[in-house]
Amino acid sequence: MTLNSKIPEGPLEKKWSNHKFNMKLVNPANRRKYKIIVVGTGLAGASAAASLGELGYNVHSFCYHESPRRAHSIAAQGGINAPKNYSNDGDSIYRLFYDTIKGGDYRAREANVHRLAEVSGNIIDQCVAQGVPFARDYAGYLDNRSFGGAQVARTFYARGQTGQQLLLGAYSALNRQIDAGTVKFYDRHEMLDLVVVDGKARGIVTRNLINGKIESYTADVVVLATGGYANVFYLSTNAKASNATAIWRAHKRGALFGNPCYTQIHPTCIPVSGDHQSKLTLMSESLRNDGRVWVPKKKGDDRQANQIPENERDYYLERLYPSFGNLVPRDVASRRAKDMCDHGFGVGASKMAVYLDFADAIKRLGREAIFEKYGNLLDMYKQITGEDPYQVPMRIYPAVHYTMGGLWVDYNLMSSIPGLFVLGEANFSDHGANRLGASALMQGLGDGYFIAPYTISDYLASNKFSPVDANGGEFKAAENSVTASVNKLLSINGSKTVDEFHREYGKVMWDYVGMGRNKAGLQKALKLLPEIRSRFWKDVKITGNALDINTELEKAQRVADFMELGELIAIDALHREESCGGHFREEHQTEEGEAKRNDKKFSYVAAWEYTGKTGNPKLNKEKLEFESVHPSQRSYK
Amino acid sequence: MSLTGLFLTIFLIEHLIGNLLVLLQDGGAAFETYSEFLTSNPYAYLPLRFVEAILFASIILHAWSGFTVWLKNKRARLTKYKEYGIAENTKFASRWTAGTALLVFLFLVIHLKAFFWNIRLSGEHVSGYTIAHQTFSNPYYTWFYVFSFIVLGYHLYHGFQSAFQTLGLKTKKYSTLIETIAVVFWCIIPLGFALIPIYILFHPTTLALAK
Amino acid sequence: MKLTLKVWRQKDRNDEGRFVEYIANEVSPDMSFLEMLDVVNTDLVKKGETPIVFDHDCREGICGSCGMMINGRAHGPGKGIATCQLHMRSFSDGDQIVIEPWRSTAFPVLKDLMVDRTSFDRIMRAGGYTSAKTGGIPDGNSILVPKPVADEAFDAAACIGCGACVAACPNSSAMLFVSAKVSQLALLPQGKAERVERVTRMIAQMDEEKFGSCSNTYACEAECPKQISVTHIARLNREFVAAQF
């Protein structure tokens, strides 16, 4: 397959405005005739559905939750970037573009990233108009703070709940359109297949999660904004229901999957407390500003932290990185913590954690000052672990929390299936191999409010659509295959629960396809993963029936798809013989242990094609061209 | 409800001040003057009857809206909780508003029968002062009144703050003030009312003096 | 720890429902309440029974999906937390725990502990927004909102829509939920243009959904996982009164 990224001609900063002018428009009177399905109601999905509805299209919005407001965008904490230069510190669209490209370790498209930087300012204005209560100063002006990977203060925030406030803003815009009748909303409907008619995406098949009915919906355009796939690791900071089913089934219908191995691991999460653990909780990495990371010098030291004398502690980040100390970048901090635990220096009951100690900071600044800065985070930690971080060091461990990979899309955010648009975390664009903090919210809303509405109009105006019938052959075939897979899952009646399989699969993914990857480990994973999958299909036990609320069945569908996607991640990680951003191949590192890229061989997007058989994908490459910035070795020294 | 409630509260204050005249050691002269003014002053007659009509209308409206809200709220939860820890989160007065309302209503009926009926509608010319003394020398009456005033206190304690909240006037700035005044309604006003029957019960001779 | 659970089981909307007793063995104090239910469910599935259905998702107290009455308290014992943030160390060995769904006419039970809260969405659709169109918006700093006002608006906007206020209220009133949105937009300049229509429509929709009336017991504030203050209800009332003139 030849990949056409459709990047417009012209200088970088003119590409988007030129393209907007060149795109075709749909007459306002005709828009009602076009039907658009939007799957997912997070930042990207809700903003797209609202904006398209407002333009006058006939929009149908689907989500598997009871309400659009439950989407996992709600859990984002930190903030959203925009180069408004309110801080007068020299920020500009170009600087945000540059930081993002560099942060992504030169594995993203220049044109996409520049466009994102261009629209990011509008996002802030839009959200303000919706009534998002951004942090303000006493004079009433918007407040900014600085964030990782940037030297300017360009992050807008609403306490530690920025994602919540932005999502509620998009939710209110969506509500306004539902109220106006331009958007029809379907709650508790899970998309289980994409229907392609004559080579174009023309509808979806869903399962009604209340009564189990398998239903078809036709459309002229299908938009997927269904989020990332970090739950393939079982334990992640994603919500329990976050899944890859929509994008994976679209992939199996022909959409290419871009850079699946790019996953981001966050260093400061609350560690696993036992086998019962169902998910992980992130703690803002700002804690490393004042906390010191250490492990005991002695392997398997079982003493309480406070009983280990100073000279028997290894402040390993300060030892290994004297200049950056505890403030090394996310990926380095994560990998070092794993190293320490792998070598037997881990702490806590599970031995899979390191200490983050505030004792020195409390001594130096006083308890009050620490409370002022980190009070809510330390409270959250106490709530979950039952330990008081003012008294004993916190235990932390890295966890998966974002996936940069996703369905391949061109500059118009259209996948390799015409008429299938993919927005937000579900697509692969913009973040390259590593996402900077406060960029995910920016991308989701940028795609939904300011990019997709234009490019979808262009697609609609440029194509002719013959009518399709929800009772037609393609739809019936898709319904039948969904029904068959539901019935198959229910008929197995084996001995292990879905969660048990998911946990086992996630452990292999984490151990061999997680933070540190190597050839032997990946090859081992590629032996283990298919074996677990085949056991799953023989031995999973799901009770209840198909025509009812059946949460085990819902999970089983999602886990079945993760069990195919996991293999693709491992294949992609094995093929990418370099380290870049979140993808760390132990064979490819600098002497200091940093990621070592191989631009000659791997400066491309790996877009994988489904060939009809899991574990046997076909690689397509989209070469990355850098005209404006020159890829260099990232250095944190 | 809030408006009628507040209006009734204002009436209560007036009623209490007037009633306290009974306690003056003047053989009922001041109270009789006050009574006369309320019932027979030719200039005040029409306006007072008008206010009286509003007062009765308020009582009925207050009770009726209370009843409809109560009914609506019952319908809003048809299946009860097996375990319901509402007592851990709320104040007695606010949980039992409907209950205290019912008791206050019962009291009102008895009170109107004993006083309003006898003074105004029975056709005989009896003074309120006399009736008060006759009634409250009966300890059953006295203690029933005292009990009712305690109930009324709880009703007012919740109702007073509640009215300001419902009218949207209980802002952060004024909430302490409103809560302090609510305490006045909770104890001082009921206490004032209760003083009269208790005093009379323990000083039966004052009636003899009046004769 | 060993615990006895009395859990409300109800097949569907029309089923009468009943309490079923389960024994949860080997409960670790580090488990969250939902993880404890996960363990019970694993046992149920292995025995061939249907697991206890409950809504949940983010498990960090922000999505608002989870919510159940635990020993008579919305989201269980503890202040300012959702059910997913409740940990088993709040209980002792041998305890009996009664678990019920939110009970309100406006939140019909769908199955077991899962209720239908779409009534909340319908209230939000009745004007719980500013009519800002996508695009064509002036710079964010063209609207000034002093910090104390922005902070108070944020306090209201922190609502996660879990329904604990309704569940805890003796009247099943949704006033705290509605007030959180009305108050947020009443405080901000952006919301002022549509304030009359907003409060009128949202209150009408709330009544239509058969929520009860507020009798100012403040049980809602006590159980709100985001500790939203009832002063927002006062502001809602003020908006409503003002809308009548």
* pLDDT band of B208, cuts 50, 70, 90: very low
Read off the CATH number of the domain in which B200 is found. Answer: 1.20.1300.10
Q: How many CA atoms lie within 13 A of C181 on its CB side?
A: 28
Phi, psi of A243 (to 5 degrees): -150, 170
Domain that holds residue C230: 117-243
Mean per-residue pLDDT over chain C, rounded? 97
Residue B210 has a pLDDT of: 45
- How is residue A10 written in tokens? 């012209």
Interface contact C236-B166, CB threshold 8 A: no
pLDDT digits (tens, 9 = 90+) for B22-79: 888 887 889 888 988 888 888 888 999 999 999 999 999 999 999 999 999 999 999 9
A541 has a chain C CB within 8 A of its CB: yes
User: Do residues C123 and C96 both lie within one domain?
Assistant: no
Question: Looking at domain A478-597, which CATH architecture does it have?
Answer: Up-down Bundle (1.20)
Which of C111, C140, C157 terminates a domain? The answer is C111
Of the candidates C30, C44, C87, which has its C-beta nearest A274's C-beta? C30
Nearest CA in chain C to A282: C60
State which fold the A265-400 domain adopts. Flavocytochrome C3; Chain A, domain 1 (3.90.700)
Neighbours of C75 (CB within 10 A): 27
What confidence category does residue C134 fall into, taking pLDDT thresholds of 50, 70 and 90?
very high
Unique residue bearing structure tokens 């019936």: A476
Nearest residue of A to residue C123, measured between CA atoms: A175
- What CATH number did the domain enclosing C190 receive? 1.10.1060.10
Give the per-residue pLDDT at B206.
Answer: 52
Q: Which domain holds residue B107?
A: 2-210
Enumerate residues 118 to 147 of chain C having a beta carbon within 8 A of any beta carbon in chain A.
Answer: 118, 120-121, 124-135, 137-141, 143-147
Portion of chain A with pLDDT greater than 90, in percent: 85
Chain C touched by B79 (CB under 8 Å): yes
Q: Do B169 and B136 touch, CB atoms closer than 8 A? A: no
A517 catalytically annotated: no
CATH number at residue C66: 3.10.20.30
**Closest Cβ opposite residue C141 in set A122, A142, A159:** A142
**C86 and C24 in a common domain:** yes
Q: What is the SS3 string spanning chain C?
A: CCEEEEEEECCCCCCCCEEEEEEECCCCCCCEHHHHHHHHHHHHHHCCCCCCCCCCCCCCCCCCCCCCEECCEECCCCCCCCHHHCEHHHCCCCCEEEEECCCCCCCCEEECCEECCHHHHHHHHCCCCCCCCCCCCCCHHHCCCCHHHHHHHHHHHCCCCCCHHHHHCCCCECHHHHHHHHHHHHHCHHHHCCHHHHHHHHHHHHHHCCCECCCCCCHHHHHCCCCCCCHHHHHHHHHHHHHCC
Query: Do C125 and C209 belong to one domain?
Result: yes
Residue found under tokens 């009951």:
A349
At residue C56, the pLDDT reads: 98
Residue A159 and residue A162: Cα distance in Å, rounded? 7
- Does one domain contain both C232 and C124? yes
Tens digits of residue pLDDT in C4-22: 999 999 999 999 999 999 9
Domains: count for chain B: 1
In which band, very low, low, confident or very high, does the pLDDT at C197 lie, cut at 50, 70 and 90?
very high
Q: Per residue in C23-49, pLDDT tens?
A: 999 999 999 999 999 999 999 999 999
DSSP state of A70: G
ipTM above 0.95, yes or no: yes
Structure tokens at A620: 């397509």
Q: Give the confidence band of B211 by pLDDT, cuts at 50, 70, 90.
A: very low
Say whether the A–B interface has 3 or more Cβ pairs within 8 Å: no
3-state SS string for chain B: CHHHHHHHHHHHHHHHHHHHHHHCCCCCHHHHHHHHHHHHCCCCHHHHHHHHHHHHHHHHHHHHHHHHHHHHHHHHCCCCCCCCCHHHCCCHHHHCHHHHHHHHHHHHHHHHHHHHHHHHHCCCCCCHHHHHHHHHCCHHHHHHHHHHHHHHHHHHHHHHHHHHHHCCCCCHHHHHHHHHHHHHHHHHHHHHHHHHHHHHHHCCHHHHHHC
**Neighboring chains of B (3 or more beta-carbon pairs < 8 A):** C
- Which residue in A330, A395, A558, A585 is the catalytic one? A330
Q: Which residue has the higher pLDDT, C169 or A151?
A: C169
pLDDT under 70: residue ranges of chain A: 635-637
Element (H, E) at A456: helix A452-462
How many interchain CB pairs under 8 A, A with C? 224
Tell me the pLDDT tens digit for each residue of A61-97. 999 999 999 999 999 988 899 999 999 999 999 999 9
Q: Across the interface, do A383 and C28 touch by the CB < 8 Å criterion?
A: no
| C32–A contact, CB cutoff 8 A | yes
Note the pTM of the prediction, 2 decimals: 0.95
Q: What is the 3-state secondary structure (H, E, C) of A570-632?
A: HHHHHHCCCCECCECECCCECCCCCECCCHHHHCEEEEEECCCCCCCCEEEEEECCCCCCCCC
* From C19, C172, C222, residue closest to B82, measured CB to CB: C19
Every domain of chain A and the residues it spans: 265-400, 478-597
Q: Find all residues with CB under 8 Å of A45, minimum gap 6, and list them.
A: A38, A39, A61, A63, A68, A71, A223, A225, A226, A423, A424, A448
pLDDT per position as a tens digit, A579-631: 998 999 999 998 877 889 999 999 999 999 999 999 999 999 999 999 999 99
What average pLDDT does range B162-184 have in this prediction? Answer: 92
pLDDT at position B209 is 45
Report pLDDT digits (tens) over A6-51. 999 999 999 999 999 999 999 999 999 999 999 999 999 999 999 9
End-to-end CA distance of chain C: 60
Q: Is A136 on the interface with C (CB under 8 A)?
A: yes
Q: What is the pLDDT of residues A517-571, one digit of tens each?
A: 999 999 999 999 999 999 999 999 999 999 999 999 999 999 999 999 999 999 9
Residue that terminates a domain, selected from C111, C141, C175:
C111
Q: Which residues from chain C sit within 8 angstroms of residue A124, using beta carbons?
A: 140
In a shared domain, residues C121 and C236: yes
Within A223-348, residue ranges assigned H as helices are 245-252, 316-320, 330-342
Domain boundary among C52, C86, C111: C111
Q: Same structural domain for residues C210 and C130? A: yes
CB contact under 8 A, B83 and C71: yes
Number of domains in chain C: 2
Query: For residue B191, what pLDDT is reported?
Result: 93
The partner residue sitting opposite C241, judged by closest CB among B80, B89, B167, is B167
Is the Cβ of C82 closer than 8 Å to some Cβ of chain B?
no
